[in-house]
Chain A
Amino acid sequence: MVHISDGVLAPEVWIAGYMVTGVLLAWTLRKMRAYDIPRLSIITAAVFVASLIHIPIGPTSAHFVLNGFAGVMLGIFSYPSIFIALTLQALLFQHGGITTIGINTVNMGVPALVAHGIFKLGSTTKIQRKEELFGAFAGGAAVFLAVVLLSVALLTTGREFEKVVMLIAAAHVPIILIEAIAVGSIIAFLKKVKPEIIGVKA
């Protein structure tokens, strides 16, 4: 789920996906420095293997995405991170297609950028345990948004939209909850042991 295979979308849709991904990669990579890459590699490794953990739900199965986790941990560099992870997944697992790497990166990477925004904005509030709360919210919201974007992409195939959205969304409820809890817990852990990693002053 969330990864669209080759041959499903019309060429104009996946070409548009590559164009959007190209623009976002150019923007984010211009800001990247060499010292950002080791951290990016570690988080990308987690995103790369996350899709291997999947839960069969009804007639389909849903897997972990970790795009919200990438967004919170990497900020705007989550976009190139997800692009690399999806490229490796497509080449090594045949998970998703080659033509659809661009659109799949949009579907998972844009929510990662939104998750980064949610976490950053949340961190400026005065709420108690704001990092944990907004981290969890960002983690869950990113998966939900990925499902919405996937559904919009599939809408262009002109079939079964409402049924698909409902089924995909339902299949992802456990994933959304688990990822929210996971990201919130990781943030709580990092806040305690290494707060500067998540941009919190000790």
Chain B
Amino acid sequence: MRRLIIAALLLLLVSGVACAHRVHIQPEVGRIDIKVYFGGGDPAQNFDVKVYRNVSGVESLYAEGKTNETGWFSFEPTPGGTWRVVAEGLGGHRAETVIDGTVMGGAGSITGEVPLYLRVIAGIGYLVGLAGAATGYMGWKARKGVENDSVP
């Protein structure tokens, strides 16, 4: 079991530097430029992009096209309304975001994301908890067995 743990830990160490395959959309101001990229920053090339304009709850397709080789797609917005951008690409990858007035006013960045390493630690924490619970249960059963055996 100890050797198995070492083998698994080696695998975990190798993976420490890499990043997730999540697909992001980052809006910017002006002529609206959107960047589609995988977690870790690799551009999502040739993704189908559809831009929907929402005015007073009525949504219609406003622009569509594909991202270029650096993952960018641009469109010229008409004032008013909000924009829903959907990017879809090879292998079942899809991302969606809504660009509203606050983003068009200049706050064009995605914030509030927990760092990747913390999310990795959180996931491993759950698994350690699961293993711990099972080990605790086995210990409890073993102890119970010993106590029962000691009863005359």
**Contact surface of A with B, Cβ cutoff 8 Å:** 1-9, 34-35, 37-46, 48-54, 56, 59-61, 63-64, 66, 84, 88-89, 92-95, 97, 100, 150, 153-154, 160, 164, 167-168, 171, 186, 189-190, 193-194, 197
Contact = CB atoms under 8 A, between A and B. Distances in A.
17 contacts: A4-B91, A4-B92, A5-B94, A34-B141, A37-B131, A40-B130, A41-B128, A42-B8, A48-B127, A53-B15, A54-B19, A60-B91, A84-B130, A93-B116, A95-B21, A150-B91, A194-B4
Label chain A's interface by main secondary structure.
Answer: helix
B137 interface: yes
A45 B92 contact: no
Interface string B26-42: 00000000000011101
Interface stretch (B51-59, B100-108, B117-125, B144-152): B117-125
Given A44-B127, A194-B3, A52 B20 contact: yes
B19 A52 contact: yes
B89 A61 contact: no
B119 A92 contact: yes
A88 B20 contact: no
Contacts of A60: 44-45, 89-91, 93
Contacts of A84: 127, 130
B48 to A, nearest CB: 10
Interface residues of B, number: 51
Contacts of A190: 3-4, 7
B61 interface: no
Contacts of A52: 15, 18-21, 116, 120
Given A39-B1, A168-B91, 12 more contacts: A2-B91, A3-B21, A4-B91, A7-B96, A9-B92, A37-B133, A37-B134, A49-B12, A52-B19, A84-B127, A88-B127, A93-B22
A189 B5 CA distance: 13
Given A38-B135, A93-B119, A154-B92, A48 B21 contact: no
Given A37-B130, A54-B38, A61 B21 contact: yes
Nearest to B114: A92
A5 B93 contact: yes
A60 B20 CA distance: 14
Interface of B: 1, 3-5, 7-8, 11-12, 14-15, 18-23, 38-40, 42, 44-46, 69, 86, 88-96, 116, 119-120, 122-124, 126-128, 130-131, 133-135, 137-138, 141
A50 B141 CA distance: 34
Contacts of A97: 94
B21 A41 contact: no
Contacts of A197: 1, 3-4
B126 A61 contact: no
Contacts of B20: 51-52, 89, 93-95
Contacts of A49: 11-12, 15, 120, 123-124
Contact of B134 (A2, A38, A160): A38
B90 A168 contact: yes
A51 B91 CA distance: 15
B79 to A, nearest CB: 29
